[in-house]
Structure formats: C-alpha cells, structure tokens
Amino acid sequence: MAASLVDTYLQDHGVTAFFHAAYAWWGDRTRFKGVKSYSQYKPTDRQILPGEVFILDVAPIYDGFVADVGYTSSLGENPQLTKALNFLGNLKEELPSIFSEVGKGSEICRLVNTKFQNAGYDNIHEKYPFAILGHRVHERVPETSDVRWWHFGWQAYWALTSRGLFGQLLNENFEGSLEGLWAIEPHIGTQDFGAKFEEILVVGEKNAYWLEDLQ
C-alpha cells in the first residue's frame, strides 16, 4: 500500500514512467532478512509497527531524467537509527571527495565497505543484484510507456544493457571512467534493521558533487 501510494503520488504529479517503481521496506526487511530471490524485494502486506525503521526507494522518470531517490526514517523515535543516519550523513559528505581523489570504482567500493566494517555495520547493498553501491543514470530517457517487469521499467533494462551492463554498475569489479551521473545508494545493516540513502552524484573529470547541492 505505501509503495503504491508513492507511485500514485508521483503519477498524479506528472510522472508517466519509472526506472523502477517504489519499494517500501520496514522492520528487518530493511536489511533484507529472509530475502532469497529478486521477487522477494517487492513490497509485502506486512504492517509497520511503532518504532520500526522504514525505507522508501523510488526512481521516477520526469522530463527525460531519472530521479532515483532513497530515504530512511522510523515510525516514532529510534535512537539506533539516529546513530546509523549520522554515520550515513558523514559518509555522504565524504563521498564526493572520495570519488574525485580515489578515482577507481572498485577501490571506492572497497573503501566504503571498510568504512562500514570499522563502524560495525553490515554491507547490505552487497545483497542487491550485482552487489552494487550505485548505478549510472542518463538523460533523455523515454517516458512513452510504463511497462514494468519485476518492478523495473523497460527504460531501466534498455538504459543499462544498451550501453554495456557492467559499465553501468558500480561494484567491486568496476573498471573504467567514472565520469557521468550516478545514483549512489550505500546501504548499511545492524542486527535489527537496515538504513540507506540514495542520491544522484555528478562525477566530472576532476571533481564530484551531489546534484542536490546545485540548488
């Protein structure tokens, strides 16, 4: 219900297609506990309980641009989550300089993973398809139809495969130039929950910055 309300809200505001439709996870599903196949990432009918952490993640296509965003919060106070979000906030501040200084995708992924371990968090984005820390996003994505398969719009499959899949996915095997637009989605886990953010990072030849900082 929550995920479909997010989709409905976006559609009512002019979105006609999705890179991927909304995901909504809460409780231990935010760290993908019990998720064994891709179909199990999809939202379920489980009701959220007070104090539980939730994650919303959606990627609408608007005016030819993919806006992939992820957000973590909790229903009521959750001190453990506050701590996790502080860690993610610090990581977010560091990531642009990590991208511009380290330069190699595989090393960035390993460095982020080490930061997770040092802070005592599990790496949950390793459980994503292809264990990605992020993926490229592109301009001029067609919005002509909203046909989806496994929650992803045809535009996602087309955008990722037509340009060579492995160059589009940022994981420990990534090689090549990082220049371009990236949806970066570090996802950490504790025993009870997971937390993430997802934002668009602009990577240039010598610098990197969050797209939202342009405003």
Partner 1 sequence: MSSVTSQTGSLHWLGTPNNDKKPLLLFLHGFPDSPALWKHQIDYFSEHFQVVCPFLGGTYGDSPLPTSRMRSRSIALELTSLLKALDPSEERPLFIVGHDLGVPYAWTLAQTLSGRLTGLIILNGLSLRQMAHRLNSPNQLLRSYYMLFFQIPWLSEKVLTSWPGGLIPFAYRLGDLPREHQIGETLTTTALLNSMHQYRALLRELPQTFFSKPLRLTSPVLAIFGNEDPFLYPPSFDELTLEASQLTIRILEGKHWLHVKEHEKINSILGGFIHDQLFKLRQTDRSMGLSPRISSAATESLPLATTTT
**What residues make contact with partner 1 under the rule CB under 8 A?**
1, 4-5, 8-9, 11-13, 45, 47
Helix (H) or strand (E) holding 70: strand 69-74
Cβ proximity to partner 1, 9 vs 158, nearer residue: 9
Cα separation, 171 vs 167, whole angstroms: 10
Of 4 and 114, nearer to partner 1 (C-beta) is 4
Q: Are 101 and 111 in contact (CB under 8 A)?
A: no
Geometric angle at alpha carbon 86, from 205 and 102, rounded to 5°: 25
Q: CB of 187: closest distance to partner 1 in angstroms?
A: 27
Nearer to partner 1, 4 or 145 (CB): 4
Q: Which residue's CB is nearer to partner 1, number 45 or number 205?
A: 45
The minimum distance between CB 5 and partner 1, in angstroms, equals: 6
To partner 1, the closest distance from the beta carbon of 34 in angstroms equals 18
Cα–Cα distance, 167 to 172 (Å, whole number) = 12
Q: How far is the CB of 11 from partner 1 (least distance, A)?
A: 6
* Burial degree of 213 (CB within 10 A; 0-12, 13-18, 19+): exposed
The smaller minimum CB distance to partner 1, of residues 15 and 108, is found at 15
Neighbours of 149 (CB within 10 A): 9
Q: What is the nearest approach in angstroms of partner 1 to the Cβ of residue 14?
A: 10
Three-state DSSP class for 167?
A: helix
